Chains A and B, each alone.
Chain A
Amino acid sequence: MMRRMRIGVTATCAAAVLVLAACSSSSSSSSSTTTTSGPSFNEGVTSVINPSTAKGGTITYDDSSVFDSTDPGNTYYAHVWNFSRLYATPLMTYTSTPGAGGNDLVPALATAPGVVSDNGLTWTYTIKPNVKFEDGTTVTSADVKYAVERTFDRTVLPNGPSYFQVLLGGNAATYPGPYKDRSKNIMGLTAITTPNPTTVVFHLAKPFADFDYVVAIPQTAPVPPDKDTGANYQLHPISTGPYEFQSYALNKQLTLVPNPNWNPADDPEASQLASKIVVNFNVNADDIDNRLLAGDIQMDIAGTGVQAAARARILSSPSLTKQADDPLSGFMWFFYINTKVAPLNNVACRRAIEYAANKITLQDAYGGSVGGDLASTAMPPTVIGYQSFDMYEALSKPNGDPTMAKQELTACGQPNGFTTGIAYRSDRPKEVAAATALQAALATVGIKTTLHGYPSGTYYSNFAGSPAYVHSHDLGIDIGGWAPDWPDGFGWFDEIANGNAIVPAGNTNIEELNDPVVNNYLAEMESASSTSALRAMLANEIDHQVMSDAVMLPIVYAKSLLYRSPALTNIYVQKYYGMYNYAVLGTS
């Protein structure tokens, strides 16, 4: 099939009347500007704004909600992983830099990426000697092993990802974690061995080429076993980063102060500039943007952009627009099209939806071009191996193609359309708008849909993520968003397109795709013989296959309109997180 030009960006620029400045800078090359009038719109995506080594001051973050946990072993949110770099150092991390390099792995606690041996089954890391915890004790490999071990007890630490349980060999399948029967189980995970205090070896059950990405997850940040208080560790994790906990009123306010035992040479990707960092939780979401713009706080920690009111204010004021960045967040919004709910089990019926959808109204639901770029693939541009293509005229006919849609309807035996349900999260106004827009577009070709809203807290656990519920309630189309745990094709597709990933609750392969082509590609990506070039190519192939199966209706590659507080120094967008890098900030 033809590979289309990347016309997506220009098309959205034409639609955005107000953002003339945005057009010129977002399609420009990634060279830093040195205008005398100060930084410009989107400059934080490609350059460091306000570089400075000055120390002192307080940085205040506001959170409209709470962290799932401050415990680095118990969290699964991008902004928390970002923030945890201030007090937790995992084995690997991402280079702290603006622009494309922000997706590159670099050793953090480790001295080098993992050394692979044994046909891809063994990964050996050497950790830097003399790295200290906040209390002055030296970090050893046993602390790293223990940090991973404790995540195995899902009753104490239920929130983090479960890659280690799935990937590691030895007794990983039955290891209960170090909290039950501590005398027997502490250090009892045979899949991790520590031959000496600076070496930690992981024994995998099967080869997994992306393992360096896995150890970049904060779960490998060392935890001293004698200071581990289990569920209460979140109140004061023992820091290996530039800051330590001074006080934490759970879900109310967190205060960090510099860690005197941190050595900057041990972690060049983080900085210790501000003399105090404060996070306020459960702040009124309608008010955070006001506080940010008024200068009462310096950052909205969620990092997903300002709300509609502030967006309008920023875009209509040139002085405010210069202090905003609109990066790709790494997120993608789309609709899953379930393959089990009739008549969507027929691929032609699914393709009809692809053609009938009105991409422009869907994009508007997410805030127009500022909220995201029109998407035509199942994988966003931030994933390694991405190439643009357009199978269903999403870019060439963004308002939809009713003619083609009706052809597909005839092909699947439903010439007059059919009925199905659209599921979405009712407490997310953008999703409400998107579901409504899709309903209207599908109705024009005779596809009648009923809308079903659910609370976001239980959307994945009880509703869209429960195949039984989806089937019994005819939820053929389910909205979703996805961000990869790491930026390559496996990290993107495995949970959402692998036939083996379908589970009865908390399911993320909501379209219930079980395509052997895709499954095989995914297996091949992680085999011992895979190289990064191969993985990039396979990612692209999976993308095409998934789109050909028409199990995902892409909406937008999400962008976040972030406001860059002028009080902050060293501020730029870290490509991996799709938001500002919190580990390097200072204040003037």
Chain B
Amino acid sequence: MVTFIIRRLIGTVFILLLVAAITFAIFFLLPRLAGETAYGLATQYVGRNPTPAAVHQMEQTLGFNEPLYVQFGRYIKAIVAGEHYQGQWCGPPCLGYSFKNQQPVWPQMISDVPVTLSIAIGAAVLWLIGGVTIGVISALKRGTIFDRLSMSVALAGVSLPVFFTGLIALELFSYKWPIFPNVQYVAITQNPYLWAKNLVLPWIVLAFLYAALYARLTRAGMLETLNEDYIRTARAKGLRERTVIIKHALRAALTPIVTIFGLDLGLLLGGAILTEVTFSMHGLGLFTVEAINNQDFPEIMGVTLLAAFFIIIANLIVDILYSVLDPRVRY
């Protein structure tokens, strides 16, 4: 198991390098191939109405005239060893320097991580508990009104986009009935009560989407598991029905759900983009949107790498978790 983890971690480094190279190519190679010049690229980094001299200066500073592999090499070196930009020292890990904001990328991202974590983990707890519970009950009461109703609501949850349900939630619960007025992110260290209160709407809106998925998944998994022979054995042993459902059936049905949960959470940690934008919370998702709108390549690169890292680690944890949950799986 330990060698397995080490091998995977080494693989992670390679994958991240590959992600960085591809992102780099998209931003620098593709425009070149389309006929863009270094001068043209540099104009994106100077303000409005730049003088040609200013553009040339920016070209030099950003090193656009150097061969691509040199530029890429410098970028990778900066991650490990740090780099000077415009008189500022950007210490390792230096995930680039945003010339639009004139700040290193890493500190900006790090300050956004707690917001995304708050949103993602809070919603995750909600949707896991809610979704699984409803799924189990639906499976047990299959065909009844509860089952049909919950699956219809689940369908709605899966089909309605977050920015729609989010805006409706704001309209109803923040403006019309000011139960949650003035929704904005408050750090937990600043005011735990307000932190939680302002996150209730984003949590519910995001969890609604996923809970729907998980309810359907759990229901399907439970129905399948309940037909297994070992459930019959459990009953034959004279166990209480509740023990059979939870300890025997749910335990088995949950394994694929837990693995999907790990992947979903990993993706979400890279930025709950729609939720953060809808509720104007400054997490990695909003950071990503801003970076894209501004065509701020260093920021896009930085957040892409960070998100990729979360997803890869989530995959690794999920694989390890799977072998813990299912004793038949061993590495």
Contacts and interface: CB of A to CB of B under 8 A. Distances in A.
Interface of A: 62, 65-66, 68-69, 74, 76, 154-156, 158-162, 165-166, 179, 230-232, 234, 249-252, 280, 282-284, 286-287, 290-291, 293-294, 296, 427, 455, 457-458, 460-462, 466, 495, 503-506, 508
A251 B290 contact: yes
A158 to B, nearest CB: 4
A158 B56 CA distance: 12
B280 A283 contact: yes
A232 B294 contact: no
13 contacts: A154-B58, A230-B86, A232-B102, A284-B280, A286-B278, A290-B170, A290-B174, A294-B178, A296-B174, A296-B181, A460-B48, A503-B52, A506-B46
B47 A287 contact: no
B171 interface: yes
Q: Which interface residue of B47, B57, B278, B282 has the most chain A CB atoms within 10 A?
A: B47
A159 B47 contact: yes
B51 interface: yes
Given A287-B278, A296-B182, A506-B49, A458 B57 contact: no
A252 B277 CA distance: 13
Contacts of B57: 154-155
Nearest to B111: A249
Contacts of A505: 39-40, 43, 50, 52, 55
A154 B53 contact: yes
B5 interface: no
A293 B176 CA distance: 11
A464 to B, nearest CB: 13
B87 interface: yes
Nearest to B57: A155
Contact of A461 (B44, B86, B99): B44
Interface in B172-210: 174-175, 178, 181-182, 184
Contacts of A286: 163, 167, 278
Nearest to B50: A506
Contact of A495 (B49, B111, B181, B286): B49
B45 interface: yes
Q: What's the dominant secondary structure at chain A's contact region?
A: loop
A249 B280 CA distance: 15
Closest 5 interchain pairs by CB? A159-B47, A154-B54, A231-B102, A461-B43, A283-B280
A291 B44 CA distance: 33
B88 interface: yes
A160 B47 CA distance: 7
A250 B55 contact: no
A68 B279 CA distance: 23
Given A68-B47, A160-B47, A504 B282 contact: no
Contact of B182 (A160, A291, A503): A291
A348 B207 CA distance: 61
Contacts of A283: 280
Nearest to A465: B43
A287 to B, nearest CB: 6
A438 B61 CA distance: 42
Contacts of A280: 184, 280
Given A156-B86, A162-B51, A462-B43, A455 B295 contact: yes
B227 interface: no
A521 to B, nearest CB: 21
Contact of A66 (B44, B49, B163, B290): B290
A414 B163 CA distance: 49
Q: Which interface residue of B53, B88, B99, B282 has the most chain A CB atoms within 10 A?
A: B282
Interface in B253-286: 277-280, 282, 286
Contact of B295 (A65, A69, A457): A457
Given A231-B86, A282-B286, A284-B278, A250 B101 contact: yes
Contacts of A287: 167, 170, 278-280
B103 interface: yes
